[in-house]
Amino acid sequence: MEFQLSDLQRELVEGVERYLRDAATPEAARASLDREPHGYDRELWRGLASLGVTGLSIGEAYGGMGLGDLELGFVAECAGRFLVRAPLGSTIWRSAAAIELLGSEAQKERWLTKIAAGDIAVAYVDVAAHAFAEPEIAGGRLTARFSVVADAMAADLFVVVAPGGAWLIEAEDEGVARTALETFDLLQPSADVALTGATAEPMGAAAEPMGAAAEPMGERDVRDAIRFLRQRAAVLTAFEQVGMCQAAIDGAVAYAKERYAFGRAIGSFQAVKHLLADMYVKMEIARSNSYYAGWALATRDANLTAAAAAAHLSATDALRHCAANAIQVHGGIGFTWELDCHLRYRRAHHLALQSGPARLWQDDLIDALARQREAA
Amino acid sequence: MDFSDNARDAAFRAEARAWLDANRPVELAPQLAELGFAPNSLRDADLLAESRKWQRRKADAGWACIHWPGAYGGRDASPVERIIWKQEEGIYANLSHLFFIGQNMCGPTLIDHATEEQKRRYLPPIVSGDEIWCQLFSEPTAGSDLAAVQTRAVRDGDDWVVNGQKVWTSGAHFSNFGLLLARTDPTVAKHQGLTMFFLDMASPGIDIRPIRQADGGAEFNEVFFADVRIPDSQRLGAPGEGWKVALGTLMNERLSHGTGMPTGFPELLDLAQSDRAGGRPIDDPAVRAKLASLAVRESGLRLTGLRLVGGLKRGEAPGPASSIGKLVAGPMMQEVAALAIEMQGAMGVVSEYGKAEAAARFQTMLLRSAATRIEGGTDEILRNIIAERVLGLPPEPRVDK
Ligand SMILES: Cc1cc2nc3c(=O)[nH]c(=O)nc-3n(C[C@H](O)[C@H](O)[C@H](O)COP(=O)(O)OP(=O)(O)OC[C@H]3O[C@@H](n4cnc5c(N)ncnc54)[C@H](O)[C@@H]3O)c2cc1C
């Protein structure tokens, strides 16, 4: 057992942190928001690519670094501490892994190299979460309506996964129509996507007969794969949420030290102290759950289902709590557009929805724990 | 970051397991399994005698206080080995409860501040359970505000003479020795006038009176001192350094609380899966949501404990972050107990052993957990510690400093 970050993990995180400190400033995030309200900061994206972040867990054969999901988790946590206006969640937490898991050799060759290089953004559509009606597929053409797809306006490619199959759809296909949505998350925009006979290339492994080759975790089974991808995304998002908690706490603590009222720093008032202490405790509980889930993810541990659910539920709860109370500690100025508090408050509630209803994660968690308890 | 055993861990675990398999008192297992919370009595056996027997057996084989130096009866075990041992000892650790204060608070304080000769004299009997220690810190007017202690120790030749009163002293009635925080200089600021001692609880002039607790038990006591003499050689740290010594003791206490508290969640899950008049509680979505909220705290608490203990270097003292454990566990136990009792319906109010469900553990937990939020630093004090010592917020303006 080892509960510290390895030297490699530490160096990796420090490198990303150094870069983001300069590149992912509040000013940069706001400039990007003004420039491209429905897009992302492309310069930042390329910068992350040159550091290896976009290709971190992509195999070396496709231009990535071939590192594990735990390393990616620590990077996600680091990213959460800054205002990163880039499609990490859609492209890296989700789509890249889907292509790696389900794509054919040629598809991986073609798309993973582009993702690793930071050349494209990929939106991810889990049909169960985004479609009201079953998509129709006929003759390699897909017709469907997907609502609230993150990073869809700026995406170059769509990964669509459903129990019946998985497809790649290029954004410039004429059957693709996108409608930007006004959502409250200003860091990550979303859009509705309508496909009308769009050219849909079946993803490699999914197109092959089920169980053609025995691989661990039933990775050939699309249902299992989708479930795994959902858990993976939730775990990496939990790391990001923990990083956001840290940023919320750091900001609120700094303000509580410098803001004076009644002749003393507001941070010396116990009501404020206790608010901050509770934020810290929730964050640490979420962090521990996330680190364990990151390890379970990276090692494909049998406890992944319970671990991912625990990480998601506790990090979601912690971030909503920290983001709301960071505003509280700031008082009136916390409610201004100018301050960053609201950006985290908004995103906290978007992330809470993005991984699906809490009820499903609660069921996953309790069912898994009940099974374990019965087995013991 | 690796939550699984490496080859060395696995070998250690196998060794621990093999020894436990051959030596643990299996005949007590059913009773110990029921004692998941605040074990203060065994149904059919003498807790003190059984605890001592088990402690001695472990000590003789080098499996007691394993993270202590070998020279004092320990095993020089690493923090990770300490975690593994605890996981493997399981319910048998319930037999260590009476030694908790000596092993987790007084012992580490002796290791840090006693002379070599004293360590060799006093530590091994703590390891073996032959000598039990108590902590004489709190007073009627000094609890959270511990530095306000008034019990006086006055130098007289080679001795100190102690007069005053302590309160809430757990286990004083069966302890051999006590760690005493006393005021030695009333003329200086309150944090500077304190000194730490240890003393024989059989010293003339000590009067111990048990206090009946809210849960009906009597684990803690009032202790009165009338001209009790303590040799100066039993001073720990310099005169006036008592506050610093005490903070070290309390930090060790917080770490051991924070990493080892049974929250009752696994047993709650069992209860939730039982068939009841209205069906299985676990099938009720409202119950599931509450269970999930408790489950993430249970795992978060356990994993935070692993990170805190496992992250220490060998022999390193715990930091203020270890305050998290009890702060989460205390209120959580009250929630667990309340939810369990609700599941039990009208019968939930029955606390009689043999009639109450689940060996009355949830009724016991309901009553005892109110104290968890007070002993060893109240929830509010722990929040202050996190805010000031972890987050670095300014202290409150104080009139007493
Ligand atoms: C079961 C049990 C066993 C114990 N065993 C021992 C033992 O073995 N040895 C020993 O020395 N002591 C022992 N104690 C005593 C324990 O350490 C004290 O009870 C505890 O520190 C609180 O002190 P107090 O009781 O004086 O409460 P007070 O300090 O009077 O606190 C009363 C209330 O005021 C709040 N409060 C006080 N100060 C502040 C502040 N600065 N900011 C915010 N809120 C504040 C508290 O949080 C609490 O809610 C034990 C207590 C219990 C319940």
Query: What's the ipTM?
Result: 0.95
**Does residue A209 register a pLDDT over 70?**
no
Give residue-wise pLDDT tens across range A1-38.
999 999 999 999 999 999 999 999 999 999 999 999 99
Residue nearest to atom 26 of ligand 1 (CA): B143
> Do B86 and B200 share a domain, yes or no?
no
Report the amino acid identity of residue A4: Q
Query: Which chain B residue has its CA at the smallest distance from A274's CA?
Result: B383
Is B307 within 8 Å of chain A by CB? yes
Whether A282 is covered by a domain: the verdict is: yes
In the predicted model, what is the mean pLDDT of residues B312-331? 85
**Does residue A210 register a pLDDT over 50?**
no
Q: In residues, how long is chain B?
A: 401
Contacts of B292 in chain A (CB under 8 A): 309, 313, 361-362, 365-366
Pocket test for ligand 1, best of B132, B257, B378 (most atoms within 8 A of CB): B378
Q: How many domains does chain B have?
A: 3
Residue nearest to atom 44 of ligand 1 (CA): B380
Contact A135, A198 (CB under 8 A): no
Determine if residue B207 is left, alpha or beta; phi over 0 gives left, psi from -120 to 50 gives alpha, anything else beta.
beta
Give residue-wise pLDDT tens across range B197-207.
999 999 999 99
> Do A45 and A160 share a domain, yes or no?
yes
Contact B327, B382 (CB under 8 A): yes
CATH of the domain at B385: 1.20.140.10
Contact A355, A310 (CB under 8 A): no
What is the bridge-based pairing of β-strands B159-170 and B220-231?
antiparallel
**Does residue B259 register a pLDDT over 70?**
no
> Do B279 and B382 share a domain, yes or no?
yes
> Do A314 and A369 share a domain, yes or no?
yes
Sheet holding A176-180, edge to edge: A136-138, A141-150, A190-199, A176-180
Q: State the closest ligand 1 atom to the C-alpha of B378, by its place in the atom list counted from 1.
A: 47
Give residue-wise pLDDT tens across range B117-149.
999 999 999 999 999 999 999 999 999 999 999
Distance from CA of B264 to the nearest CA of A (A): 13
Considering chain A, what is the average pLDDT of its residues?
94
**Does residue A213 register a pLDDT over 50?**
no
pLDDT of residue A12: 97
Q: How many domains does chain A have?
A: 2
CATH of the domain at B22: 1.10.540.10
> Do B145 and B111 share a domain, yes or no?
no
Whether B352 is covered by a domain: the verdict is: yes
- Using CA atoms, how far apart are residues A342 and A334, in angstroms rounded to an integer? 8
What the block records as the tokens of A52 is 């290896």
Q: In Å, what is the CA distance from B204 to each residue of A30, B132, B162, B196, B344? A: 75, 18, 11, 19, 51
Q: Give the whole-number percent of chain A exceeding pLDDT 90.
A: 92
Active-site hit among B253, B298, B335, B357: B253
Cβ B292–A362 below 8 Å, yes or no? Answer: yes
Residue B78: give the domain boundaries: 7-131
Whether A2 is covered by a domain: the verdict is: no
Whether A122 is covered by a domain: the verdict is: yes
What the block records as the tokens of B240 is 């006036």
Q: How far is the CA of B374 from the centre of ligand 1 (A)?
A: 5
Contact A256, A276 (CB under 8 A): yes
Closest CB from B266, B285, B327 relative to A281? B327
> Do B84 and B202 share a domain, yes or no?
no
> Do A174 and A294 share a domain, yes or no?
no
> Do A207 and A272 share a domain, yes or no?
no
Contacts of B316 in chain A (CB under 8 A): none
> Do A232 and A164 share a domain, yes or no?
no
Closest CB from B2, B292, B307 relative to A288? B307
Cβ A370–B273 below 8 Å, yes or no? Answer: yes
> Do A248 and A198 share a domain, yes or no?
no
> Do B230 and B293 share a domain, yes or no?
no
Whether A346 is covered by a domain: the verdict is: yes
Query: Which residue, A182, A217, A252, sits at the end of a domain?
Result: A217
Give residue-wise pLDDT tens across range A76-130.
999 999 999 999 999 999 999 999 999 999 999 999 999 999 999 999 999 999 9
Cβ B1–A280 below 8 Å, yes or no? Answer: no
> Do B63 and B40 share a domain, yes or no?
yes
> Do B79 and B29 share a domain, yes or no?
yes
Residue A329: give the domain boundaries: 220-375
Contacts of A309 in chain B (CB under 8 A): 292
In the predicted model, what is the mean pLDDT of residues A40-66? 97
Question: Please, which residues bridge with residue B222 across strands?
Answer: B167, B209
> Do B381 and B267 share a domain, yes or no?
yes
Q: How far is the CA of B392 from the centre of ligand 1 (A)?
A: 23
